Amino acid sequence: MFNGQTLLVTGGTGSFGHDFIRLALSQHNPERVIVYSRDEKKQHDMRLEFDDPRLAFVIGDVRDRNQLIMAMREVDYVFHAAALKQVPSCEFFPMEAVLTNVMGTNNVLDAAEINGVKKMVVLSTDKAVYPINAMGQTKALMEKLTLARSKQETTKTVFCGVRYGNVMYSRGSVIPLFVKQITSGAPLTITDPHMTRLLLPLAEAVRLVTFAMENGEQGDIFVRKAVATTVHTLAKAMLNLFQAKNRIEIVGVRAGEKLHEILVSAEELTRAADCGEYYRVHCQREQNYDEYFVRGLVSETIAREGYTSENAPQLSVRETEDLLLELPEIHHDLQRWLPGGLTRRRAA
């Protein structure tokens, strides 16, 4: 669907944007892909790495509404990935999270609608479901802004979104931390041995967003089904892969952290459609104020539980190892750490 089209990716120099743009350029033949971000160094590196005339770069912040409107002229599809994503940063500076994740998203929605963009996909997180920290709360508001915009009868742009948990080996995630601790001889620090996390490779996150762009209707939120494991199992799998003997140290649950990831709430699961590898959460009803203030639907019930890392299929240590070995970053780290890399590990 992107052949001959113009795409714009906010936060396009991040982990998701980098891989998504590579996929778009190699498999979908767009006419132009615009990278919209604040980081000129990453844009320069990306320009040299890709060396593709279809790639264009715009320096700008999602907080700047006018710059977004100019950047989106003649754009067909928008992927909104720009955000403040680190939980501690948002806890310490919640107003900055509001300005980027909430006000910034509203600016992107405005610019897309003003320019007649065909479809816009926003990228959300499990932390937006029953949020307990500032990052999750601002992402939940980002979703609400998108859903409210999708209900406007006059809009010609389709607004939808995706939601996923921590992407494996993404910046700030636990796997690169474990690699650093293993190679430095430090203990592997885990919060709670029973804490569970969904395991989603970056390539699957990219495919989720592409699926949403191809299939999303007004107000849809798509969730990729995934396998899960405990952080203790993940730590043991990493030690096995690297043939390391580091001890595992339990440091306790940190502020703003959940024991289990929740990707679809119990309330949402009632109206979610099972699309095989994905859940499609439909927008809640029409813009009818009576349904919010006066009456409900007798047929609408609430599920006992949502879709979480606790009730997703759980991997064993060996199965976790096999999944980790699908990551090119792990192969790269093993090659540097073990003489002979993966070959020696397999022989062992």
Tell me the catalytic residues.
Answer: 127
Residues sharing a CB contact under 8 Å with residue 103, sequence separation 6 or more, in sequence order: 63
Token pair recorded at residue 43: 């844009």
Query: Helix, strand or coil for residue 10?
Result: strand
Burial of 241 (0-12, 13-18, 19+ CB in 10 A): buried
| Cross-strand partners of 123 | 162
DSSP 8-state symbol, 31: S
Quickly list H helices, the chain. 15-27, 40-50, 65-71, 87-92, 94-97, 104-114, 134-150, 174-184, 202-215, 231-241, 266-269, 290-293, 317-324, 328-337, 341-347
CA–CA distance, 121 with 218 (Å, rounded to integer) = 10
CA–CA distance, 32 with 73 (Å, rounded to integer) = 12
CA–CA distance, 136 with 87 (Å, rounded to integer) = 8
Q: Which of 180, 178, 207, 200 is nearest to 191 (CA)?
A: 178
Length of the chain: 348
